[in-house]
Amino acid sequence: MIDISEFASKQIKEMLAQNDDNLFLRVGVVDGGCSGLSYDLKLDDIQTEDDLYLEIREVKVLVDSRSIEFLEGLKIDYLVQGMTGGFTMDNPNVKASCGCGASFRTATYRGKAQKC
């Protein structure tokens, strides 16, 4: 379903070590942005009945049931550029994205896009 690169998993484990090793990485999508959907990647301490639990490269991952269809095949990586770094998302479901790269649309998304 979702893959996390070895380098990204190392970064996530470092974030967890600085916060709480018992946290989950929550991966999802939220309505928003000029194309309709934005990624929601955060640390969370609550697992609900609607969450899909995955363990990827020793990282505990939660995906809410609404987001699953939009994230099938997602690859999460971590890219270092100069003195900064950040997570990158390679999603085969993306059919269009906005010019700023902050949001995307899939073939099955039926929500309303917002202005950037």
The sign of the dihedral angle between the CA atoms of 107, 109, 110, 112 is negative
Please report the domains of the chain, with CATH numbers, ordered by start residue. 2-106 (2.60.300.12)
Per-residue pLDDT of 21-72, as tens digits, reads 899 999 999 987 777 899 999 999 999 999 999 999 999 999 999 999 999 9
Q: Give me the pLDDT at residue 115, please.
A: 55
Q: Give me the pLDDT at residue 77, please.
A: 97
Q: Where is pLDDT greater, at 86 or 32?
A: 86
What value does the mean pLDDT of the chain take?
A: 89
The sign of the dihedral angle between the CA atoms of 5, 83, 40, 47 is positive
Q: Where is pLDDT greater, at 95 or 76?
A: 76
CA dihedral 20, 24, 28, 30 (to 10 degrees): -40
Indicate the pTM of the whole model: 0.86
SS3 47: coil
Label residue 96 left, alpha or beta by phi (over 0 means left) and psi (-120 to 50 means alpha). beta
